[in-house]
Amino acid sequence: MALVSYGFGFFCAVLLLLYYIVPGRFQWRILLAASVLFYGFAGPLWILYPAASSVSVWYLARKIGSMTDQYRNWVQKDQPDRTQKKAYNQRLKARQKRFLILGLLLNFGILAVLKYTNFLLSNVEGILHLAGISGEMEYADWVLPLGISYYTFQSMGYLIDVYQRKYDPEKSLLRTALFVFYFPQLTVGPISRFDRLKEELYSPHRFSMDRLAAGGQRVLWGYFKKLVVADRIGPAASMITGSPEIYGGVYALLGIAGHVIQLYADFSGGIDIILGISEMFGIHLPENFDRPFSSRSLAEFWRRWHMTLMQWFREYIFFPVSTSQAARKLSAAAGRLAGKKAAGKVPVYLASLTVWSVTGIWHGASWNWVLWGLANCVFMLLSQELSGLFRSLQSRFPFTDGRGYQCFQKVRTFFVFCLPWMFIYYPAAEVFPRLLGILKGEGLLSLMLGGYGTLMDTPDLMILGLGILFMALAGQICGNEGLKERLSRLPWPVSYGLSFVLFLILLVTGVYGRGYEASQFIYNRF
Partner 1 sequence: MKRKKINALFVLLAAAISLLVLWAVQRLLVPKYMGMVVEGNLTGEYYKEVPDHDVLILGNCEAYENISPAVLWREFGISSYIRGNANQLMAQSYYLLEDALKYEVPGVVVLSVSSMTNFSQDNESYNRMTLDGMRWSPSKWKAIQATKMEDEHVIEYIFPLLRFHSRWKELEKEDFTYFWDRGTVSHNGYYMRADIRPAGEFPAARRRSDYSFDPRCWDYLEKIRLLCEEKGISLILMKAPALYPAWYDQWDQQIARYAADHGLLYINCMKEPEAIGIDFSHDTYDGGIHMNVYGAEKVARFLGPELLKVPGVSDRRQEEALAVRWEEKCRVYDEKKAEQEEEFSRLGYLKQFYQGQ
Partner 2 sequence: MEELYEILEDIIPGEDYKNSTALVDDDILTSFELVRLVTEIDSTFDISIPSSEIVPDNFNSAETIWALIERLGGAG
Q: How many Å apart are CA 291 and CA 286, to the nearest integer? A: 15
Question: What is the three-state SS of 359-419?
Answer: HHHHHCCCHHHHHHHHHHHHHHHHHHHCHHHHHHHHHHCHHHHCHHHHHHHHHHHHHHHHH
Q: How far is the CB of 491 from partner 1 (least distance, A)?
A: 10
**Closer to partner 1 at the Cβ: 195 or 517?**
517
**Torsional sign, CA 268, 270, 276, 281:** negative
Q: Is the CB of 226 or the CB of 259 nearer to partner 1?
A: 226
From the list 151-159, 318-326, 409-417, 434-442, the region that binds partner 2 by CB under 8 A is 318-326
Q: Does 322 engage in binding with partner 2 (CB under 8 A)?
A: yes
Segment contacting partner 2 (CB under 8 A): 34-42, 47-55, 315-323, 428-436? 315-323
Judged by CB under 8 A, the stretch of 59-67, 214-222, 322-330, 422-430 that binds partner 2 is: 322-330
User: Does 210 interact with partner 1 (rule: CB under 8 A)?
Assistant: no
Asked if 85 touches partner 2 (CB under 8 A), the answer is: no
* Of 236, 351, 375, 468, the one binding partner 2 by CB under 8 A: 351
Q: Is 149 helix (H, G, I), strand (E, B) or coil?
A: helix
Instruction: Pick the closer one to partner 1 by CB: 210 or 430.
Output: 210
Region binding partner 1 by CB under 8 A among candidate stretches 90-98, 99-107, 480-488, 500-508: 500-508
Say which amino acid occupies 443: G
* Least distance between partner 2 and beta carbon 164 (Å): 4
Identify whether 190 is preceded by a cis peptide bond (ω within 30 of 0). yes
Could you tell me which stretch among 100-108, 159-167, 298-306, 506-514 binds partner 1 (CB under 8 A)?
506-514
Angstrom distance (rounded) from CA 98 to CA 64 = 9
Instruction: Output 155 or 187, the one with its CB closest to partner 2.
Output: 155
Ranges within 106-135 binding partner 1 (CB under 8 A)? none
HEC-encoded secondary structure of 165-223: CCCCCCCCHHHHHHHHHCCHHHHHCCCCCHHHHHHHHHCCCCCCHHHHHHHHHHHHHHH
Out of 510, 521, 522, 523, the residue judged to bind partner 1 by CB under 8 A: 510
**C-alpha distances in Å from residue 52, one per residue of 155, 156, 174, 349, 453:** 11, 13, 12, 36, 50
Interface with partner 1 (CB under 8 A), residue from 460, 478, 482, 502: 460
Q: Does 408 bind partner 1 (CB under 8 A)?
A: no
Q: List the interface residues with partner 2, window 144-183 (CB under 8 A).
A: 164-166
From 493, 502, 517, 526, residue interacting with partner 1 (rule: CB under 8 A)? 493
Q: How far apart are the first and last CA of the chain?
A: 16
Contact between 520 and partner 1 (CB under 8 A)?
A: no
Radius of gyration for the alpha carbons in the chain, expressed in angstroms and rounded: 25
- Burial-class residue 192 by CB neighbours within 10 Å (0-12, 13-18, 19+): buried
Helix (H, G, I), strand (E, B), or coil: what is residue 164? Answer: coil
Q: By CB under 8 A, is residue 496 in contact with partner 1? A: yes
**Chosen from partner 1, partner 2, none, partner binding at 459 (C-beta under 5 to 8 Å by type):** partner 1
Of the pair 162, 506, the CB lying nearest partner 2 is at: 162
Selected range binding partner 2 among 7-15, 312-320, 359-367, 413-421, rule: CB under 8 A: 312-320
Report the residue from 320, 364, 450, 453 that binds partner 2 according to the rule CB under 8 A: 320
Binding site partner of 343, from partner 1, partner 2, none, Cβ cut-off 5-8 A by kind: partner 2
Helix (H), strand (E) at residue 498 = helix 492-509
Rounded CA separation 331/362 (Å): 28
The binding track of 367-386 with respect to partner 2, each residue x by CB under 8 A or -, is -------------x---x--
* Residue-by-residue DSSP string for 343-368: HHHHHHHHHHHHHHHHHHHHH-SSHH
Q: Which of partner 1, partner 2, none interacts with 109 (beta carbon under 5 to 8 A by kind)? A: none
Residue 246: burial class (beta carbons within 10 Å; 0-12, 13-18, 19+): exposed
Nearest of 206, 157, 144, 201 to residue 363 by alpha carbon: 144
CB 187 within 8 A of CB 274: yes
504 binds partner 1 (CB under 8 A): yes
Which partner, partner 1, partner 2, none, binds residue 457 by CB below 5 to 8 Å per kind?
Answer: partner 1
Which residues in the 434-473 window bind partner 2 by CB under 8 A? none
When binding is defined by CB under 8 A, the residue of 6, 139, 408, 415 that contacts partner 1 is 6
Is residue 323 close enough to count as binding partner 2 by CB under 8 A? Answer: yes
Which one of partner 2, partner 1, none interacts with residue 493, CB within 5 to 8 A by kind?
partner 1
DSSP 2-53: -SSSHHHHHHHHHHHHHHHHS-GGGHHHHHHHHHHHHHHTT-GGGGHHHHHH
Q: Which of 33-41, 176-184, 478-486, 512-520 is the region at the interface with partner 1 (rule: CB under 8 A)?
A: 512-520
Contact partner, 166, from partner 2, partner 1, none, Cβ < 5-8 Å per class = partner 2
In 10 A of CB 20, how many CB atoms?
Answer: 18
Buried b / exposed e over 195-230, threshold 16 CB at 10 Å, is eebbebbbeebeeeeebbbbbbbbbbbbbbbbbbbb
Residues that bind partner 2 (CB under 8 A): 164-166, 299-300, 303, 314-315, 318-320, 322-324, 328, 331, 343-345, 347-348, 351-352, 380, 384
